Structure 1
Amino acid sequence: MTAPPRVLAVLPAWNEEASLPLVLEELRAAAPDVDVLVVSDGSTDRTVASARAAGVRVLDLPINLGVGGAMRAGFKFALANGYDAVVQCDADGQHDPLDIPRLVEVAAETGADVVIGARFAGAGDYSARGPRRWAMRLLSTVLSRLVGTTLTDTTSGFKLSGPRAVALFAREYPAEYLGDTIEALVIAHRAGLTVHQLPVVMRPRAAGEPSHSPWRAGIFLARAGLALAVALSRPTPRPTTTHDLVTAA
């Protein structure tokens, strides 16, 4: 019998004290075999206290590094502690924890190194409009051709990374804006990793307000194009080796 994979859910969190208790309670109920790590990304509220009160492990970053920087810290933690897979999950309640076991199953069934929880793959009614929608479609088209498989949501922040991806991302995960989505997929592909997607339903935030607006959408469009150009211009990372899989950072 093969032992089930050790899975770590990493929640990058910046000032999410209001939503975090409910998210952690749901996660514990939906995926009791999955360990949880909250990475407080320079939070100035009670995010750290909320996470510790819920009994989960916490990395308390002294400054705000952005999602990419927080996730790289999470990948380093996972590699150092022998986890087989990492699931990136938002701390604001938009990702349904019930989908985490499904991500694990798809990775096992397909052998994919990265499984994206895709919002635009036929599940739910989540939509984006204006420049944001144009940017997402363009990115999905370009990256689908690059990796050789259909991807409809290349900016999703809900995804599973298997053993080879954990070892790669612990040393290569980009911290720049959109690097945790767009550039991470380019890095994975160039390192020989495979990418798959799973349709998921996006939920409303459990607390707080979304940051979308026409002005921000226009900025997103410009930054998305820049992020893709940067990703494609960078050198190919070295392949993940067996040594990487067994050596802690």
Structure 2
Amino acid sequence: MDKKILVIIPCYNEEDNIVNTVENLRATCPEVDFLVVNDCSTDSSAALLKSRHYPFLDLPVNLGIGGGVQCGYLYAVRHGYDVAVQMDGDGQHDPAYLMKVVQPVLDGVYDMCIGSRFIKKEGFQTSFMRRVGIRWLSGMIRLLCGKRVLDVTSGFRATNLAMTAYFAQHYATDYPEPEAILAASLAGFRVGEAPVIMRERQGGVSSIHSFKSAYYMIKVSLALIIDRLSIRKVKGGRA
């Protein structure tokens, strides 16, 4: 492969998952590079990364998922990667589907391709209440920019050089996946999806659970509305 691909793996307290995640990626896609972004984990994640000699960034302060992934995008731009792929560190994203997400970007079909569990509706589909929330956010994004994306909270996504450079400068810091779709669409980038099969979290605890899910929905909904009011739509993917 003549294209350089970097897989960005955000990591926060993933001691139960990070080794399996990385080893599965290395076994399945040995041709790609990867970078783990350790976001001030308080468990043994950093020690595991060091002992395994994995390439990783050890952030000095906790930036949250958005800030951590943005560091990965900055790294990808500065090191000349053609495609950057975000893949969660909790084992939900199967690297067997990585090239299915990357290929539409390599082919020039999309600037950002999102791995979607809802196109073929196979594999782990998450809980009923989360599916309701995802449908709500999907509807909001379609209303605000006219773009229909089914799996708006999927963190399994690939970006080309232009999209990666944009995200290296413009990226939401908290729970950025839905906001990134809206921002990319309003900036004129081509956003699409590819079918994937996801797994349940392999260990640890998700940062979104119980009453936090309602808070998340309210917060992201408001953020999307604010983004729509502040982001100017520009054709051709140039801000």
Partner of 1:121: 119
Of residues 163, 171, 196, the one that matches 2:192 is: 196
- In 2, Cα distance between equivalents of 1:149 and 1:222: 21
- In 1, Cα distance between equivalents of 2:226 and 2:106: 32
Shift in CA distance, 115/62, structure 1 to aligned 2, threshold 3 Å: same
Partner of 1:209: 205
- Unpaired stretches in structure 2, ≥5 consecutive residues: none
- In 2, Cα distance between equivalents of 1:50 and 1:145: 44
Shift in CA distance, 7/184, structure 1 to aligned 2, threshold 3 Å: same
CA contact (8 A) 1:24 1:54 kept: no
Kindly provide the amino acid, as one letter, of the partner of residue 127 in structure 2.
A
Shift of 1:166: 0.7
Partner of 1:60: 58
Shift in CA distance, 229/146, structure 1 to aligned 2, threshold 3 Å: closer
Give the total of aligned pairs: 237
Kindly provide the amino acid, as one letter, of the partner of residue 187 in structure 2.
A
Partner of 2:217: 221
CA RMSD of aligned residues (A): 2.2
User: Which deviations, in whole Å up to 9, do the C-alpha atoms of 1:201-228 show, x marking residues without a partner?
Assistant: 2212222133554422222221221221
Q: Which stretch shifts more, 45-54 or 231-240?
A: 231-240
Partner of 2:88: 90
**1:117 aligns to what SS in structure 2?**
strand
CA contact (8 A) 1:114 1:194 kept: yes
Partner of 1:231: 227
Shift in CA distance, 240/192, structure 1 to aligned 2, threshold 3 Å: closer
**1:139 aligns to what SS in structure 2?**
helix
User: Which deviations, in whole Å up to 9, do the C-alpha atoms of 1:15-49 show, x marking residues without a partner?
Assistant: 11221111111000111111010000111222123
- In 2, Cα distance between equivalents of 1:106 and 1:240: 17
- In 2, Cα distance between equivalents of 1:169 and 1:156: 16
Shift of 1:146: 5.1
Q: Which stretch shifts more, 154-163 or 41-50?
A: 41-50
- In 1, Cα distance between equivalents of 2:68 and 2:118: 25
User: Which deviations, in whole Å up to 9, do the C-alpha atoms of 1:154-180 show, x marking residues without a partner?
Assistant: 1111111111111101111121x32x2
Shift of 1:144: 3.6
CA contact (8 A) 1:124 1:202 kept: yes
User: Which deviations, in whole Å up to 9, do the C-alpha atoms of 1:102-135 show, x marking residues without a partner?
Assistant: 11212233520000011222232413323x3333
CA contact (8 A) 1:13 1:41 kept: yes
Partner of 1:44: 42
Partner of 2:148: 150
- Unpaired stretches in structure 1, ≥5 consecutive residues: 245-249
Shift of 1:147: 5.2
Q: TM-score, normalised by structure 2?
A: 0.90
Q: TM-score, normalised by structure 1?
A: 0.86
Of residues 179, 184, 192, the one that matches 1:183 is: 179
Q: How does 1:165-184 map to 2 (within 5 A)?
A: 165-175=163-173, 177-178=174-175, 180-184=176-180
Shift in CA distance, 224/235, structure 1 to aligned 2, threshold 3 Å: closer
**2:107 aligns to what SS in structure 1?**
helix
Partner of 2:25: 27
CA contact (8 A) 2:94 2:197 kept: yes
Q: Which stretch shifts more, 182-191 or 73-82?
A: 182-191
CA contact (8 A) 2:186 2:231 kept: no
Q: Which stretch shifts more, 27-36 or 147-156?
A: 147-156
Percent sequence identity is: 35
Partner of 1:162: 160
